[in-house]
């Protein structure tokens, strides 16, 4: 669970700097071919495959060159290759500070924060008073990942002349809310080094990450004119595609910049991949030309693997959820996945986990999936279990559901508890709700497996621990119902299923079917079941309403002040909502769960459209007003949309969708995080409660 700022730090470009230390006669930053970038420069620019190719071309790499190769392999997801090179480095240069650098860089990609911190500290101690700037950068990266931003900032100040470290410092300042200080650093960079891209790419990439596209576009355009790095140009293209410029102008500017990059950088696989990926991201069939060129002229490389990933991306974007519903589309998706996984001589790479995630989604919904395919998909996504407790438990549950490899199911379920020791950060532990959810998921997953393998006595402690941590989980209620059934406690099982049926579930809620099956088991027939459910359903509905209204905050805090423009240019302020019960939903078109609940949100807005005591609003953070306006028109929605101006990130709204329910005093009386299945009904309950002034 690492902060998103690390994604930016990992992508910062490098201006070559003089080497501050050297522990090996051949530890030079210069390439064996003076006209070509060094391995160090390529790795720091995020061009991992190019760095790897440069490394392979070396006859006798120095410890420093091998260390950067380890980092490049690890950051590209080729962990086995990284391990091999790290082992070779330990043998060749066991005392070199660059061996420690390689160890820290590798551990930093393993999401083992304690081990990465220890390795980084050991590296810095060995480096002494004048560490190489890449060592400083790596240690700052590790510290930021461990939420030690103040320590990271202090460390970065040690090399004030390094553009790479100055940009990293500016970014951390921005992330900490000190954007004026960050702006001063960028302005100084632009003044001192007007021909360097960092003064533009740094703030441009930050704005891009915050979806402030109008701000990002001119900065990244300037950066692109000063850089031949495909990543810088790709950032510019993304900002361009998300801008409000006319479509023809965007197309012309994209084609002009592509031509400029090819002319200045040359026709290389790095450039072809950047072009293909941009077209694929936009769903433009033009990606095919560049994809095929990569596969033809750069086979058996990461570029080729990612070209195959582009095929999968475009197909998935085009067909979406229909893939799992249509057998022909499912078969084609399987073929594309298999093409990727079977591609020759690619070792591991960055996208392999994504491909296995796609395969897992298919086999999860396919009752005819073979045991071999299910196990392959689960083993493929196992690296993600370290930070995804929900997927860990779900994979174990799938094996139980299909009654295959229960030994593997238990192994996976138990592994989640070990992962908590290395992946939860201090801020995570401060978020007791988050920690409770994670632990509940893991206890439930293990309890469910143990119930199937060893019976109710073995499962009891884990299932009840899960219930105590997450009493409103429909899955946990279902598993407890099954536990009671295993003990022949049928009345208690019925209570569990009835309660579980009232709870929201992202998937089909299993409790209703379990309740029906239990009724038949107890009565020997389903006769009378519908009448039973009609009678019990009324009581369950009342219980659900009571539970939801009980979530009202005891001491609600005032909502943060805002003054935001709507899609039609009007301005709405927090002050204008005083005296009303107001609903404020934070969403984005990019958020699938947000989009899923929009039909009922439209109904909610329609229900209260003429009620002067109620305001139904949304705050959209896509950063693309034209795109949102077009999407609203296509969907025939007319609820109020306010455009985010940084309000969302400033007030740390991180989960989407999130909905605030403001009382007439402007206080946040209720807060709903995540998607709501019965939105119109449950949101209306809250609104009426606030409207009545209770």
- Cis status of the peptide bond prior to 657, with omega within 30 of 0: yes
Average the pLDDT over 564-589 and give the result: 92
pLDDT given for residue 341 in this prediction: 86
Per-residue pLDDT tens digits for 6-16: 434 444 443 33
> Which residues on neighbouring strands pair with residue 573, listed in sequence order?
563
| pLDDT above 70 for 345 | no
Per-residue pLDDT tens digits for 495-537: 999 999 988 877 789 999 999 999 999 999 999 999 998 888 8
pLDDT given for residue 618 in this prediction: 96
- Helix (H) or strand (E) run with residue 177 in it: none
**How many other C-beta atoms lie within 10 A of the C-beta of residue 560?**
14
Average the pLDDT over 660-687 and give the result: 93
Per-residue pLDDT tens digits for 191-228: 999 998 999 999 999 888 877 888 899 999 999 999 99
**How many other C-beta atoms lie within 10 A of the C-beta of residue 436?**
14
Instruction: Return mean pLDDT, the chain.
Output: 87
Number of H helices, E strands in the chain: 35, 7
| 10: nearest Cα among 76, 78, 79, 63 | 76
Q: Are strands 571-573 and 581-587 parallel, antiparallel or unpaired?
A: unpaired
Residue partners of 445: CB distance under 8 A and separation at least 6: 392, 393, 394, 396, 397, 412, 413, 416
Confidence of residue 255 (pLDDT cuts 50, 70, 90): very high
Per-residue pLDDT tens digits for 616-654: 999 998 877 888 888 999 999 999 999 988 888 788 787
Average the pLDDT over 644-667 and give the result: 88
> Got the DSSP string for 661-679?
EE-TTSBEEEEEES--TTH
pLDDT given for residue 222 in this prediction: 96
Rounded distance between C-alpha atoms, residue 69 and residue 88, angstroms = 12
Secondary structure class of 172 (helix, strand, coil) = helix
- Higher-confidence residue of 506 and 261: namely 261
**How many other C-beta atoms lie within 10 A of the C-beta of residue 217?**
22
- Higher-confidence residue of 427 and 317: namely 317
Instruction: Tell me how far CA of residue 347 lies from CA of 47, 74, 78, 151, in angstroms.
Output: 17, 12, 6, 36
Per-residue pLDDT tens digits for 79-124: 888 999 999 999 999 999 999 999 999 999 887 788 999 999 999 9
Give me 642's structure tokens.
Answer: 């306010």
pLDDT given for residue 6 in this prediction: 40
Provide the CB-side half-sphere exposure for 191 (13 A, CA): 6
pLDDT given for residue 69 in this prediction: 94
Share of the chain above pLDDT 90, in %: 57
The one-character DSSP state at 129 is T
Average the pLDDT over 58-81 and give the result: 90
- Helix (H) or strand (E) run with residue 119 in it: helix 113-127
Residue partners of 96: CB distance under 8 A and separation at least 6: 23, 24, 63, 89
Confidence of residue 19 (pLDDT cuts 50, 70, 90): very low
Rounded distance between C-alpha atoms, residue 52 and residue 31, angstroms = 13
Per-residue pLDDT tens digits for 266-289: 999 999 999 999 998 888 889 999
| pLDDT above 90 for 25 | no
pLDDT given for residue 681 in this prediction: 94
Confidence of residue 429 (pLDDT cuts 50, 70, 90): low
Return the axis-axis angle of helices 133-145 and 163-175, rounded to nearest 10°: 10
> Domains in the chain, start-ordered, CATH in brackets?
5-196 (1.25.40.10), 267-369 (no CATH), 386-549 (1.25.40.10), 563-691 (3.40.30.10)
pLDDT given for residue 239 in this prediction: 93
pLDDT given for residue 15 in this prediction: 38
Rounded distance between C-alpha atoms, residue 480 and residue 484, angstroms = 6
């Amino acid at each position: 669970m690492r902060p998103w700022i690390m994604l930016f730090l990992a992508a910062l470009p490098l201006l070559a700097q003089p080497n501050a230390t050297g522990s090996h006669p051949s530890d030079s930053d210069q390439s064996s071919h003076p006209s070509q970038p060094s391995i160090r420069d390529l790795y720091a620019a995020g061009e991992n495959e190019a760095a790897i190719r440069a490394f392979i071309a070396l006859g006798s790499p120095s410890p420093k060159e091998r260390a950067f190769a380890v980092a490049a392999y690890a950051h590209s997801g080729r962990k086995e290759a990284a391990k091999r090179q790290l082992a070779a480095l330990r043998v060749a240069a066991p005392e070199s500070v660059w061996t420690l650098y390689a160890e820290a860089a590798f551990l930093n990609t393993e999401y083992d924060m304690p081990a990465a911190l220890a390795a980084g500290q050991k590296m810095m101690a060995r480096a002494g008073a004048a560490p190489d700037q890449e060592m400083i950068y790596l240690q700052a990266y590790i510290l930021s990942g461990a939420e030690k931003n103040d320590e990271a900032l202090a460390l970065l100040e040690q090399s004030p002349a390094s553009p790479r470290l100055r940009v990293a410092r500016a970014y951390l300042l921005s992330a900490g809310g000190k954007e004026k200080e960050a702006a001063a650093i960028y302005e100084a960079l632009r003044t001192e080094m007007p021909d360097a891209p960092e003064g533009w790419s740094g703030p441009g990439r930050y704005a891009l990450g915050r979806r402030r596209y109008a701000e990002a576009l001119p900065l990244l355009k300037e950066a692109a004119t000063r850089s031949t790095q495909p990543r810088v140009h790709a950032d510019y293209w993304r900002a361009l595609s998300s801008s409000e410029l006319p479509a023809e102008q965007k197309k012309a500017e994209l084609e002009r910049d592509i031509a400029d990059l090819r002319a200045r950088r040359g026709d290389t696989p790095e450039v072809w991949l950047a072009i293909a990926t941009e077209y694929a991201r936009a769903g433009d069939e033009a990606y095919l030309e560049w994809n095929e060129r990569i596969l033809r002229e750069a086979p058996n490389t990461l570029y080729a693997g990612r070209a195959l990933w582009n095929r999968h991306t475009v197909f998935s974007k085009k067909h979406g959820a229909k893939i799992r519903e249509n057998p022909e589309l499912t078969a084609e998706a399987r073929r594309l996945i298999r093409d990727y996984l079977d591609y020759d001589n690619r070792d591991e790479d960055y996208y392999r986990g994504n491909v296995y995630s796609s395969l897992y989604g298919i086999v999860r919904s396919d009752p005819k999936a073979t045991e071999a395919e299910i196990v392959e998909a689960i083993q493929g996504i196992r690296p993600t279990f370290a930070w995804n407790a929900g997927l860990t438990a779900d994979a174990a549950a799938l094996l139980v559901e299909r009654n295959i490899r229960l030994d593997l199911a238990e192994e996976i379920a138990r592994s989640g508890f070990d992962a908590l020791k290395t992946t939860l950060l201090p801020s995570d532990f401060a978020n007791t709700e988050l920690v409770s959810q994670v632990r509940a998921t893991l206890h439930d997953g293990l309890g469910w497996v143990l119930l199937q393998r060893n019976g109710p006595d073995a499962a009891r402690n884990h299932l009840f621990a899960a219930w105590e941590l997450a009493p409103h989980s429909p899955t946990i209620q279902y598993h407890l119902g099954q536990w009671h059934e295993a003990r022949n406690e049928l009345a208690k099982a019925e209570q569990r299923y009835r309660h579980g049926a009232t709870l929201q579930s992202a998937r089909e809620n299993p409790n209703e079917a379990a309740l029906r099956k239990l009724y038949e088991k107890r009565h020997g027939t389903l006769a009378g079941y519908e009448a039973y459910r009609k009678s019990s359903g009324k009581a369950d509905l009342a219980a659900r309403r009571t539970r939801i209204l009980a979530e009202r905050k005891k001491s609600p805090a005032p909502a943060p002040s805002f003054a935001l423009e709507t899609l039609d240019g009007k301005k709405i302020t927090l002050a204008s909502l005083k005296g009303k019960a107001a609903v404020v939903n934070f969403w984005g078109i990019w958020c699938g769960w947000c989009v899923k609940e929009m039909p009922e949100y439209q109904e909610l807005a329609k229900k209260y459209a003429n009620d002067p005591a109620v305001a139904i609003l949304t705050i959209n953070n896509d950063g693309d007003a034209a795109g949102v306006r077009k999407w609203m028109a296509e969907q025939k929605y007319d609820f109020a949309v306010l455009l985010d101006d940084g309000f969302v990130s400033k007030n740390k709204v991180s989960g989407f969708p999130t909905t605030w329910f403001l009382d007439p005093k402007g206080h946040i009386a209720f807060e709903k995080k995540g998607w709501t299945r019965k939105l119109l009904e449950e949101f209306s309950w809250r609104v009426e409660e606030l409207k009545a002034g209770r």
